[in-house]
């Protein structure tokens, strides 16, 4: 890894790191096994891979990313935000039913989120910084970036 990274707690509480590689692919490094609870040990046995959508790797236009994970109803959700090769802000999603994590019955895939398919003008300046969080007062998910237009 070289360049910015971001992280989110993945399914079943596993540490998950996201980054953009030298080929501008969105990559993931996920802990296969965590250290003992309350341990100062680092996570063990990381697994490297790509965030794939329908067997294709999203092509990023910059190295900056934002990621977050949250509980939503009966699911654990992970979202990663990035700027594509056309400087449009995009979202990839993974929603995992809690029951599937508990019984090991599911291996959900990454999907494209609705953000890039919305009517919003999500054109960013090249190399934009990206940040995301959930507002606990309203429950709204917020994504911030430097827009191409001065809005």
78-119 pLDDT, tens per residue? 999 999 999 999 999 988 888 877 776 667 788 999 887 788
DSSP 99: H
Q: How far apart are the first and last CA of the chain?
A: 33
Closest CA to 8 of 33, 30, 25, 32: 30
| CA–CA separation, 57 and 128 (whole Å) | 20
pTM of the model: 0.84
pLDDT in tens, 26-85: 998 887 665 566 566 665 677 788 888 877 778 899 999 999 998 888 888 899 999 999
């Amino acid at each position: 890894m070289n360049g910015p990274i971001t992280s989110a707690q993945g399914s079943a509480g596993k540490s998950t790191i996201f980054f953009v590689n030298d080929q501008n692919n969105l990559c993931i490094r996920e802990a296969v096994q965590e250290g003992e609870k309350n341990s100062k040990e680092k996570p063990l046995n990381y697994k490297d891979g790509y965030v794939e959508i329908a067997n294709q790797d999203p092509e990023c236009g910059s190295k900056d990313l934002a990621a977050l994970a949250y509980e939503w109803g009966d699911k654990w959700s992970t979202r990663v935000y990035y700027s594509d090769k056309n400087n449009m802000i995009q979202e990839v999603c993974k929603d995992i039913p809690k029951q599937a994590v508990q019984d090991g019955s599911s291996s959900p895939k990454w999907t494209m989120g609705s953000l890039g398919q919305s009517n919003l003008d999500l054109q960013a300046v090249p190399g934009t910084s990206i940040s995301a969080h959930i507002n606990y007062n309203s429950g709204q998910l917020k994504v911030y970036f430097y827009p191409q237009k001065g809005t």
